[in-house]
């Protein structure tokens, strides 16, 4: 990353650290690969103030030819953590009842 990209990345991470709950601070095992394989956090659609700030990260990825897509889902997996702004889920397994690939 360039110095400017690093500055934007660091400032973004610092802002997120100060402005929303880190689920692993509530439950240190939340991202444990054995307990919660593939656990991933999703912002809720109502957390616009958090989603809007993702743009700087997308610009950094694009500058380095890293493709990404926005994914939205009403049922991304088994919820293992939830607060007013996000959920952490273990994704549904493809081929299982109620499951799908994202």
pLDDT mean for each 10 residues of the chain (102 residues): 95 94 95 95 94 93 94 93 96 60 40
- Cα separation, 52 vs 23, whole angstroms: 20
pTM for the whole thing? Answer: 0.80
What local confidence, expressed as pLDDT, does residue 96 receive? 52
What pLDDT score does 70 carry? 86
Q: How far is CA 46 from the centre of its chain?
A: 14
pLDDT of residue 94: 54
Q: Residue 30, class by beta-carbon neighbours within 10 Å (0-12 exposed, 13-18 middle, 19+ buried)?
A: middle
The CA distance from 84 to 81, in Å, is 11
Closest CA to 43 of 89, 11, 12: 89
Backbone angles phi, psi at 48, to 5 degrees: -55, -40
What is the structure's pLDDT at 100? 44
């Amino acid at each position: 990353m360039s110095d400017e990209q690093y500055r934007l990345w660091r400032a973004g991470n610092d802002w997120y650290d100060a402005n929303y709950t880190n689920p692993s601070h509530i439950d240190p095992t939340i991202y444990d690969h054995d307990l919660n394989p593939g656990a991933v956090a999703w912002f809720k659609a109502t957390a616009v103030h958090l989603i809007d700030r993702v743009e700087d990260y997308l610009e950094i990825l694009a500058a380095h030819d890293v493709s990404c897509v926005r994914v939205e889902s009403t049922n991304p997996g088994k919820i293992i953590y939830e607060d007013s702004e996000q959920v952490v889920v273990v994704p549904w397994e493809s081929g299982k009842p109620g499951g799908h690939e994202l």
